[in-house]
């Protein structure tokens, strides 16, 4: 991995390393005493519900903490070369998709001022 000339090359080597060492199995297994995987799975389901932007904004406000349910613990980011638990990665990706969904200025369901207030709060 130290000799890789691109991120893509490094990632391929890291994935192979994780396959050989069991890191890939660790990533696919949601369970860990390091974080609350049950609540993360529930929160992920809530984020995936589409259609009600006001509910989505409420969920995002609840979930904006950096170490919510323990997902920020450094130990979760050193077990595999390619990343952390797939559940955590899915949750984070869905969270960012929800932020993108709420970002267009022309959205009618939530006033622009309310969303600006949320994004300013989130940036802190």
- What integer pLDDT is reported at residue 35 of this predicted model? 96
Q: Note the Cα 58 to chain centre separation in Å.
A: 17
How many angstroms separate the CA atoms of 121 and 100, rounded?
A: 16
- What integer pLDDT is reported at residue 106 of this predicted model? 86
CA distances from 46 to 8, 57, 62, 111, 122 (A): 33, 11, 11, 22, 19
Q: Which pair of tokens denotes residue 85? A: 């638990």
- What integer pLDDT is reported at residue 77 of this predicted model? 95
How many angstroms separate the CA atoms of 70 and 75, rounded?
A: 10
pTM score over 0.75? yes
DSSP state of 82: S
Least trusted range by pLDDT, from 18-22, 63-67, 116-120: 63-67
């Amino acid at each position: 991995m130290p000799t890789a000339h691109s991120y893509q090359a490094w990632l391929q080597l890291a994935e192979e390393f994780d396959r050989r060492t069991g890191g890939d199995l660790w990533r696919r297994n949601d369970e860990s005493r390091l974080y609350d995987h049950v609540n993360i799975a529930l929160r992920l389901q809530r984020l995936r519900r589409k259609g009600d932007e006001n509910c989505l904004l409420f969920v995002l406000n609840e979930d904006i903490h950096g170490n919510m349910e323990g997902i920020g613990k450094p130990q979760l980011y050193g077990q595999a070369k390619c990343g952390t638990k797939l559940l955590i990665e899915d949750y984070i990706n869905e969270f960012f998709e929800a932020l993108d969904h709420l970002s267009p200025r022309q959205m009618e369901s939530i006033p622009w001022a309310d969303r600006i207030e949320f994004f300013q709060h989130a940036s802190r």
